[in-house]
């Protein structure tokens, strides 16, 4: 009965958010323009980086396109789910409407993370998929079922890492209402995921693996998709994903304990 | 919950908040960063009461007395620092599903309805969250909409509704799961007189129909007089009065306020035999008249003076309580 | 001729008070501002990528060249951030603009002062970040000549003014549409890619470079960053471009403000 209730609730959540977004059809045009513009700009900059070169950090042009495609895909996911939901947490705290969420007989993290679905991220999702497919086909890497499967799993775990990081940062707003744009910082630094991690100087590479795990979001899944995935990295990524999901859950519980013992 | 146990029991309920002390300005901030100083503030200290199933109880007190804190503890949003609490047989702070399905909290200054959508959409979300099936949802919506006199408003975006309509829709959304215990924090805040009356009638009706227990706070004495036979009066975190409203009203407000608008001006002395003159301007007079002598005084005023307009009011509850509590403070010192 | 003088005095007094209260207000938000400053690291990330690519070296840009350019772009970006539209949109939608309209001061000045105050609040954070960079690699910093510094700051303020005017123009759309911020997001895209923030204009193919130079965007990052990092730069051309664009956008802003206010009044907000 419980999974059923969650499924029914999720359906209702998304129907109602689609309805409220459907009032703004102009957004679709603007969003498509933004995706096309951003994509054109990114490919242009990538071409500048490749001018006179045949590789960037050991990646060929087509392989780098796969990385850029995954970045676009994740950016679309961010616009669909992370941005519309997680940026509201701070408003809930500020305006006290978090109380309503906590009084519902449903998991509060579930509510806060999935309450809204913004269709405006979809152009990004589609563009990302097209770019990945193009890059894969042109790169000449043999397309194998198991590498696609592994790559897909790693993309999902990259998304999970991103979600956990973002959610935990948003949960900080329970203590520090004013630091809400910590999540914005996160979004701006994620731009680094547009390029393969090996293109960066060694010190930055370390940062992108351990501090801001951008590497797991685009580079590692791309390697797997291209059939060059290493089991070490894959295992590390999956471990990191499940670890960070658990950590975000634990952290939210901890934050709530603080909220419920201190809010007025 | 075994029969005959009270719906709500609070024993020695307390809550202390830890507040950081910070001096204003840049220097104060710097000092605050280096060495934080904290101070414990008791919002509620040692409050005990028992509320039976089906009772409607008014919760009074000046701003900052600890009313909202108590309501939040009762609904499980805040963990008490001390004391025992039981609501519908549960310990609220554990916020178990079965508990949450039996209570609701309505806050007049906050809303849960989605701003851009018709209330019906938010209500359907709530139905899913509480696991109420479609048929039953429909039935309950029409029943509650009937009681609240809500119709096509449910299909209009919330932002286009008046404050009163919004509050009624808010009530519908909060009561869809048919809670047995209602916590209402200022449910009539900012509403006009008719909307206030409608909300009151609805609450009385809901209480009768479903035998729900209701605990409400309000700044409007009218809400309390219309709905609650019993009031809890809280001041500085402590229970001041627990009992019948009558006893409290006559204790708090033996006077009523009579506002007169006259065709021409009279000297202040002309009114002094009718009651205490609170203010006197050319054509406007404010009189405090003893409750018992109100009818005859008004009749006498009407015959004696060329009255254009006459209004009888209860002095604002805040004023009443301020006078009560300043009196209490004086007796404390004595 | 006492009149203009007393007017000037009054104006300077307003400016002083406006700036000091806004500064105090911004100090309250220093944690946010520190985070905003952190979120401006894009040029530094791009520096990382460009160092790994041989593309710039082929154009004759030394590693040092590249480093100084992107660090300068980072500084320019920090002090030309404009967030007018987000505040303005909210003020229009919630009617907070109305009380400002009753006062004998053009409300845009208020927002302008807020931006200046925010920049002042940023200074220590940016210095800290530069110190951090120097700690990682001392070669990342350099000492510009006095002329470079003076001209660079002048160009930087020009860039800020230009960005402010451009965003003020899109902000005026708030009077007509609820989606003005979305339009502004579209304008960020050419700014990002054509201003020199993610790639120096020198690396562009000639045709695209010519196109970019015909837009106002290179004046917003590339021009001041080149001055600050001590690279060859067409000074008169750059300042001329700043001037022309400001002269173009200023009256447009004014015109749309007047029209917008009329509409705002008609809506009864």
> Are A200 and C48 within 8 A, CB to CB?
yes
pLDDT of residue B28: 60
pLDDT digits (tens), chain C, 269 positions: 457 788 888 888 888 888 888 888 888 778 788 888 888 889 999 999 998 888 888 888 898 999 999 999 999 999 999 999 988 988 888 778 888 888 778 889 999 999 999 999 999 999 999 999 999 888 888 888 999 999 999 999 999 999 999 999 999 988 888 778 788 889 999 999 999 999 999 999 999 999 999 999 999 999 999 999 998 889 999 999 999 999 999 999 999 999 998 888 776 54
Dihedral of the CA atoms C132, C137, C139, C142 (nearest 10)? 0
What's the gap in Å between the CA of C269 and the closest CA on chain A?
Answer: 22
pLDDT of residue B330: 45
Are the beta carbons of B49 and B230 closer than 8 angstroms?
no
**Host domain of residue C143:** 2-266
Interface residues from chain A to B (CB-CB < 8 Å): 1, 5, 8-9, 11-13, 16, 19-20, 23, 95-97, 99-100, 102-106, 111, 257, 260-264
- As a whole-number percent, the residues of chain A with pLDDT over 90 amount to 58
**B-chain residues within 8 Å CB-CB of A19?**
117, 121
> Smallest Cβ distance to A12: which of B101, B107, B124?
B124
Residue A3: closest C-alpha in chain B: B131
Q: C26, C29, C49: which to substitute to probe chain A, counting the most A Cβ within 10 Å?
A: C49
pLDDT of A122 over the 50 cut: yes
What's the gap in Å between the CA of B253 and the closest CA on chain A?
Answer: 31
**A-chain residues within 8 Å CB-CB of B112?**
97, 100
Pair B59, B179 in one domain: yes
- Rounded Cα distance between C109 and C169, Å, is 14
Hey, what are C212's tokens?
A: 């970019």
Pair B218, B282 in one domain: no
Q: C35, C77, C87, C202: which to substitute to probe chain A, counting the most A Cβ within 10 Å?
A: C35
Subunits adjacent to chain A (3 or more Cβ pairs under 8 Å): B, C
> Smallest Cβ distance to B117: which of A8, A19, A257?
A19
CATH number of the domain residue B279 falls in: 3.30.70
- A243 band by pLDDT with thresholds 50, 70 and 90: very high
Long-range contacts of C23-31 (CB under 8 A, 24+ apart): C23/C117, C23/C120, C23/C121, C25/C114, C25/C117, C26/C114, C26/C117, C26/C118, C26/C120, C26/C121, C27/B26, C27/B29, C27/C121, C29/A178, C29/C121, C30/C121, C31/A176, C31/A178, C31/A179
**A-chain residues within 8 Å CB-CB of B130?**
104-105
Residue C53: strand, helix, or coil: coil
pLDDT of residue C269: 47
Pair B145, B278 in one domain: no
Q: Write the pLDDT tens digit of every residue in A26-59.
A: 888 888 899 999 999 999 999 999 988 888 989 9
CB atoms closer than 10 angstroms to residue C121: 22
Strand partners, B284: B261, B281
Q: A4, A10, A12, A21: which to substitute to probe chain B, counting the most B Cβ within 10 Å?
A: A12
How far from B201 is each of A216, B198, B208, C194, C205, CA to CA, in Å? 59, 5, 11, 64, 75
> Smallest Cβ distance to B112: which of A16, A97, A264?
A97
Are the beta carbons of C56 and C66 closer than 8 angstroms?
yes
Hey, what are A250's tokens?
A: 């634990």
- Rounded Cα distance between B183 and B57, Å, is 10
Strand partners, A250: none
Q: What is the DSSP letter of C61?
A: -
Contact C4/A at CB under 8 A: no
- B3 band by pLDDT with thresholds 50, 70 and 90: low
Pair B137, B259 in one domain: no
Nearest to C199 by CA among C55, C78, C79: C55
Q: Write the pLDDT tens digit of every residue in B7-37.
A: 999 999 999 887 776 666 556 656 655 666 7
> Are C198 and A30 within 8 A, CB to CB?
no
> Are C58 and A191 within 8 A, CB to CB?
no
Q: Chain B 56-95, CB below 8 Å of chain A: which residues?
A: 68-69, 72, 75-79, 93, 95
Q: At what angle do helices A122-139 and A61-77 cross, to 10 degrees?
A: 160
> Smallest Cβ distance to A27: which of C36, C40, C182?
C182
| Residue given tokens 């008609």 in the structure block | C266
**Host domain of residue B74:** 53-82+89-250
pLDDT of residue B328: 53
- Rounded Cα distance between C58 and A235, Å, is 39
Residue A56: strand, helix, or coil: strand
Residue C41: strand, helix, or coil: coil
> Smallest Cβ distance to A20: which of B77, B117, B124?
B117
> Are A199 and C53 within 8 A, CB to CB?
yes
Mean pLDDT for A169-191 is 78
**C-chain residues within 8 Å CB-CB of A195?**
49
Are the beta carbons of A160 and A77 closer than 8 angstroms?
no
pLDDT of residue C126: 94
- As a whole-number percent, the residues of chain B with pLDDT over 70 amount to 86
Nearest to A86 by CA among A107, A102, A109, A104: A109
pLDDT of residue B322: 63
Contacts of C77 (CB under 8 A, 6+ apart): C40, C42, C43, C197, C221
- Rounded Cα distance between C251 and C253, Å, is 5
* CA B181 to the chain's CA centroid: 15
Contacts of A217 (CB under 8 A, 6+ apart): A70, A71, A74, A158, A159, A161, A162, A190, A193
Residue C176: strand, helix, or coil: coil
Pair B172, B244 in one domain: yes
**A-chain residues within 8 Å CB-CB of B175?**
none
pLDDT of residue C161: 96
Mean pLDDT for A96-101 is 90
In a domain, B172, yes or no: yes
pLDDT of B324 over the 80 cut: no
What's the gap in Å between the CA of C147 and the closest CA on chain A?
Answer: 32
In a domain, B160, yes or no: yes
> Are B76 and A16 within 8 A, CB to CB?
no
> Smallest Cβ distance to B129: which of A19, A106, A262?
A106
> Smallest Cβ distance to C52: which of A185, A191, A201?
A201
pLDDT of residue B9: 95
pLDDT of residue B333: 40
Are the beta carbons of B161 and B122 closer than 8 angstroms?
no
> Are B128 and A11 within 8 A, CB to CB?
yes
CA distance between the termini of chain C: 41
Q: What is the DSSP letter of A215?
A: I
Dihedral of the CA atoms B133, B136, B140, B142 (nearest 10)? 110
> Smallest Cβ distance to A8: which of B78, B100, B128?
B128
* Buried-exposed string C87-97: b where 16+ CB fall within 10 A, e elsewhere: ebbebbeeeeb
Pair B151, B226 in one domain: yes
What's the gap in Å between the CA of B95 and the closest CA on chain A?
Answer: 8
Q: List helix spans (H) across chain A.
A: 2-21, 26-50, 61-77, 83-95, 98-102, 108-114, 122-139, 145-171, 182-189, 202-206, 214, 220-225, 231-262
In a domain, B204, yes or no: yes
> Are A50 and C189 within 8 A, CB to CB?
no
> Smallest Cβ distance to A263: which of B78, B100, B131?
B78
Complex confidence, ipTM: 0.88
Q: How many domains does chain C have?
A: 1
Q: Chain C 51-80, CB below 8 Å of chain A: which residues?
A: 51-55, 58
What's the gap in Å between the CA of B122 and the closest CA on chain A?
Answer: 8
- Rounded Cα distance between B224 and B221, Å, is 5
Residue C101 falls in which region: left (phi positive, over 0), alpha (psi -120 to 50) or beta: alpha
How far from B281 is each of B127, B159, B255, B302, CA to CA, in Å? 56, 42, 21, 18
pLDDT of B305 over the 60 cut: yes
Q: Provide the mean pLDDT of chain A.
A: 89
Hey, what are A143's tokens?
A: 């397309």
- Rounded Cα distance between B322 and B64, Å, is 13
Pair B63, B210 in one domain: yes
Dihedral over Cα of C154, C158, C161, C167: its sign: negative
> Are C189 and A52 within 8 A, CB to CB?
no
Residue A2: closest C-alpha in chain B: B131
Contact C42/A at CB under 8 A: yes
Are the beta carbons of C226 and C68 closer than 8 angstroms?
no
Q: How many domains does chain B have?
A: 2
> Smallest Cβ distance to A5: which of B17, B69, B131?
B131
> Are C52 and A26 within 8 A, CB to CB?
no
Q: At what angle do helices A231-262 and A145-171 cross, to 10 degrees?
A: 20
Are the beta carbons of A69 and C225 closer than 8 angstroms?
no
3-state SS string for chain B = CCCCCCCEEEEEEEEEEEEEECCCHHHHHHHHHHCCEEEEEEEEEEEEEEECCCCEEEEECCCCCCHHHHHHHHHCCCCCCEEEEEECCECHHHCCHHHHCCEEEEECCCCCCCCCCCHHHHHHHHHHHCCCCHHHHHHHHHHHHHHHCCCHHHHCCHHHCCHHHHHHHHHHHHHCCCCCEEEEECCCCCCCHHHHHHHHHHHHHHHHHHCCEEEEECCCHHHHHHHCCEEEEEECCEEEEEEEHHHHHHHHCCEEEEEEEECCCCCHHHHCCCCEEEEEECCEEEEEEEHHHHHHHHHHHHHHCCEEEEEEECCCHHHHHHHHHHHHHHHHHC
Hey, what are C170's tokens?
A: 């899109």
Pair B74, B117 in one domain: yes
What backbone torsions phi and psi does residue C178 show, to the nearest 5 degrees? -85, -5
Mean pLDDT for A175-181 is 68
Hey, what are B305's tokens?
A: 């003076």
Q: B39, B129, B134: which to substitute to probe chain A, counting the most A Cβ within 10 Å?
A: B129
Subunits adjacent to chain B (3 or more Cβ pairs under 8 Å): A
Residue A55: closest C-alpha in chain C: C53
Hey, what are A5's tokens?
A: 């209730």
- Rounded Cα distance between B218 and B63, Å, is 11
pLDDT of residue B139: 96
Q: Write the pLDDT tens digit of every residue in A1-11.
A: 578 889 999 99
pLDDT of B316 over the 70 cut: no
Antiparallel, parallel or unpaired: β B213-217 and B56-60: parallel
> Are A262 and B18 within 8 A, CB to CB?
yes
Q: What is the DSSP letter of C111?
A: H
Residue A1: strand, helix, or coil: coil
Q: Where are the domains of chain A?
A: 2-262
Contact C45/A at CB under 8 A: yes
**B-chain residues within 8 Å CB-CB of A97?**
110-112
Residue A23: closest C-alpha in chain B: B116
pLDDT of B4 over the 50 cut: yes
Are the beta carbons of A120 and A21 closer than 8 angstroms?
yes
- B61 band by pLDDT with thresholds 50, 70 and 90: confident
Pair B175, B299 in one domain: no
In a domain, B45, yes or no: no
* Buried-exposed string B291-306: b where 16+ CB fall within 10 A, e elsewhere: eeeeeebbeebeeebe
Pair B304, B181 in one domain: no
Return the minimum-mean-pLDDT range out of B235-244, B251-260, C71-80. B251-260
Contact C50/A at CB under 8 A: yes
Strand partners, B18: B40
Most confident of B30-39, B107-116, B241-250: B107-116
């Amino acid at each position: 009965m419980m999974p059923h209730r969650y499924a029914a609730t999720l359906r209702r959540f998304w129907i109602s958010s689609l309805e409220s977004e459907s009032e703004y059809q102009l957004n679709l045009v603007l969003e498509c323009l933004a995706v096309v513009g951003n994509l054109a700009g990114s490919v242009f900059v990538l071409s500048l980086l490749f001018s006179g070169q045949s590789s960037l950090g050991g990646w060929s042009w087509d392989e780098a396109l796969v990385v850029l495609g995954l970045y676009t895909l994740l950016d679309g996911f961010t616009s669909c789910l992370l941005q519309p939901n997680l940026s509201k947490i701070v408003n809930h705290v500020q305006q006290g409407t978090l109380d309503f969420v906590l009084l519902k007989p449903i998991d509060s993290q579930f509510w806060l993370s999935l309450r809204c679905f913004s269709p405006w991220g979809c152009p990004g999702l589609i563009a990302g998929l097209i770019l990945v497919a193009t890059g894969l086909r042109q790169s000449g890497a043999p397309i194998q079922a198991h590498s696609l499967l592994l790559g897909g799993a790693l993309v999902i775990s990259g998304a999970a890492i991103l979600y956990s990081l973002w959610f935990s940062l948003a949960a900080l707003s329970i203590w520090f209402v004013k630091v809400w744009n910590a999540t914005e910082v996160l979004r701006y630094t994620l731009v680094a995921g547009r390029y393969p991690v090996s293109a960066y100087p060694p010190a930055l590479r370390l940062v992108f693996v351990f501090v801001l795990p951008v590497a797991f979001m685009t580079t590692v899944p791309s390697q797997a998709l291209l059939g060059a995935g290493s089991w070490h990295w894959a295992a590390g990524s999956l471990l990191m994903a499940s670890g960070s999901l658990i950590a975000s859950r634990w952290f939210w519980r901890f934050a709530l304990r603080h909220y419920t013992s201190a809010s007025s | 919950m075994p029969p005959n146990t009270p719906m709500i029991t609070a024993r020695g309920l307390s809550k202390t908040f830890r507040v950081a002390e910070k001096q204003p300005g840049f220097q104060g901030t710097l000092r605050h960063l280096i060495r934080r100083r904290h101070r414990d503030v008791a919002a509620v200290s040692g409050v005990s009461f028992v509320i039976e199933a089906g009772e409607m109880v008014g919760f009074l007190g000046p701003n900052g007395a600890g009313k909202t804190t108590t309501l939040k503890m009762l609904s499980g949003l805040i963990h008490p620092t001390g004391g025992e609490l039981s609501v519908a047989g549960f310990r609220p702070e554990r916020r178990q599903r079965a508990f949450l399905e039996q209570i609701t909290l309505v806050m007049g200054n906050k809303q849960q309805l989605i701003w851009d959508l018709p209330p019906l959409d938010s209500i359907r979300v709530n139905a899913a969250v509480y696991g109420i099936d479609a048929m039953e949802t429909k039935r309950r919506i029409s029943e509650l909409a009937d009681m609240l006199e809500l119709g096509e408003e449910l299909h209009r975006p919330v932002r286009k509704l008046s404050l009163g309509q919004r509050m009624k829709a808010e009530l519908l959304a909060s009561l869809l799961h048919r809670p047995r215990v209602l916590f209402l924090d200022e449910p009539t805040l900012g509403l006009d007189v008719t909307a206030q009356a409608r909300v009151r009638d609805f609450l009385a009706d809901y209480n009768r129909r479903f035998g729900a227990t209701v605990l409400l706070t309000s700044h409007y004495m009218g809400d309390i007089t219309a709905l609650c036979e019993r009031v809890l009066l809280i001041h500085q975190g402590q229970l001041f009065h627990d009992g019948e409203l009558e006893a409290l009203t006559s204790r708090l407000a033996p006077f009523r306020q009579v506002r007169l608008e006259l065709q021409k001006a009279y000297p202040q002395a002309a009114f002094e035999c009718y009651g205490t003159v609170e203010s006197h301007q050319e054509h406007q007079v404010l009189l405090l008249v003893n409750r018992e002598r109100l009818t005859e005084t008004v009749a006498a005023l009407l015959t004696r003076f060329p009255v254009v307009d006459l209004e009888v009011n209860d002095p604002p509850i805040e004023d009443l309580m301020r006078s009560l509590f300043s009196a209490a403070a004086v007796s404390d010192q004595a | 001729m006492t009149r203009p003088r007393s007017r000037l005095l009054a104006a300077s007094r307003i400016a002083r008070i406006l700036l000091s209260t806004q500064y105090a207000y911004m100090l309250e938000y220093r944690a946010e501002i520190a985070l905003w400053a952190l979120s401006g690291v894009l040029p530094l990330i791009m520096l990382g990528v460009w160092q790994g690519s041989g593309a710039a070296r082929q154009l004759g840009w030394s590693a040092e060249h590249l480093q100084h350019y992107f660090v300068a772009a980072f500084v320019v970006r920090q002090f030309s951030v404009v967030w007018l539209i987000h505040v303005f949109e909210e003020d229009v939608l919630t009617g907070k603009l109305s009380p400002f309209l009753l006062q004998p001061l053009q409300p845009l000045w208020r927002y302008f002062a807020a931006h200046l105050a925010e920049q002042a609040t940023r200074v220590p954070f940016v210095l800290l970040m530069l110190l951090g960079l120097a700690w990682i690699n001392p070669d990342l910093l350099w000492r510009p000549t006095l002329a470079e510094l003076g001209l660079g700051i002048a160009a930087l303020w020009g860039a800020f003014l230009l960005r402010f005017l451009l965003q003020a123009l899109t902000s005026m759309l708030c009077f007509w549409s609820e989606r003005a911020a979305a339009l502004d997001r579209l304008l960020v895209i050419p700014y990002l890619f054509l201003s020199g923030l993610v790639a120096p204009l020198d690396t562009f193919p000639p045709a695209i470079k010519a196109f970019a130079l015909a837009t106002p965007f290179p004046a917003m990052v590339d021009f001041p960053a080149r001055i600050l990092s001590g690279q060859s730069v067409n000074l008169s051309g750059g300042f001329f471009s700043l001037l022309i664009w400001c002269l173009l956008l200023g009256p447009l802003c004014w015109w749309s403000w007047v029209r917008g206010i009329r509409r705002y009044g008609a809506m009864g907000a």
